[in-house]
């Protein structure tokens, strides 16, 4: 487990091993989530990188029998 300290401006430096492991780049957005007394940083993926992630999903929506025409 890596630890960091807050600067006087409440900033942190993400350790190199974490940055490299998650392939973070300067300027990349990171969501900050407060959850059950802790802080979670979640890297945001560019929309372009998400392309095709729903491939293979069945687009049909089942209808109830009474809704059929």
Domain 1-46 has CATH 3.30.160.40: no
Domain locations in the chain as residue ranges: 1-46
Terminal Cα-to-Cα distance of the chain (whole angstroms): 59
pTM of the shown model: 0.62
Gap between the Cα atoms of 23 and 43, Å rounded: 10
Q: pLDDT for 47-60, tens place per residue?
A: 777 777 788 887 77
Q: pLDDT for 27-48, tens place per residue?
A: 999 999 999 999 999 999 877 7
Mean pLDDT score, 18-31? 94
């Amino acid at each position: 487990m890596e630890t960091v300290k807050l600067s006087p401006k409440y900033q942190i430096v993400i350790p190199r091993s974490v940055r490299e492991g998650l392939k973070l780049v300067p300027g990349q957005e990171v969501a900050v989530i407060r959850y059950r007394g802790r802080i979670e940083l979640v890297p945001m993926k560019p929309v372009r990188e998400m392309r095709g992630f729903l491939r293979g999903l069945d687009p049909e929506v089942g209808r109830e029998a009474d809704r059929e025409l």
